[in-house]
A = this chain, B = another copy of it.
Amino acid sequence: MDFSKLDGLIAAVIQDHITGRVLMVGFMNEEAFRNTVETGFATFYSRSRNKLWLKGETSGHRLVVKEIATDCDRDALLIKVEALGPGVCHEGYESCFFRKLDNGAWVESEARAYDPASVYGSNS
């Protein structure tokens, strides 16, 4: 893998292994990628917190790795997962991609799958 293009990070696309829905995009440094492969749970590098982030550490909504692919440039990953829990997005949606562009405006295109306050607490 080529970690040189984005300050040590590569983009990781997370896709539901059965439905094919794209659930989120995260970033991994080399350590996050190694942890993902070794543990079988998707682990990212948080750019805002500057540390490794096991997805589901707080919520329990872990991503169980089913298949890992890389692209021609080896600077992106496509990871097919089984998503534990009702939703991947910390805002309560099944997928982080819950807004669609509709005549120039971003419109929420689905209902929440769970109440984020009950999972993350009311302040997060």
Binding site for B on A (CB under 8 A): 5-6, 11, 13, 15, 19-22, 24-25, 37, 47, 67-74, 76, 78, 89-91, 93, 96-101, 104, 106, 109
Contacts and interface: CB of A to CB of B under 8 A. Distances in A.
A90 B70 contact: no
Given A13-B25, A69-B101, A70-B99, 10 more contacts: A20-B20, A25-B71, A37-B101, A68-B100, A71-B89, A71-B97, A71-B98, A72-B90, A74-B106, A78-B97
Contacts of A76: 25, 96-97
Contacts of A5: 47
7 contacts: A11-B25, A20-B21, A24-B71, A68-B100, A70-B97, A71-B98, A72-B98
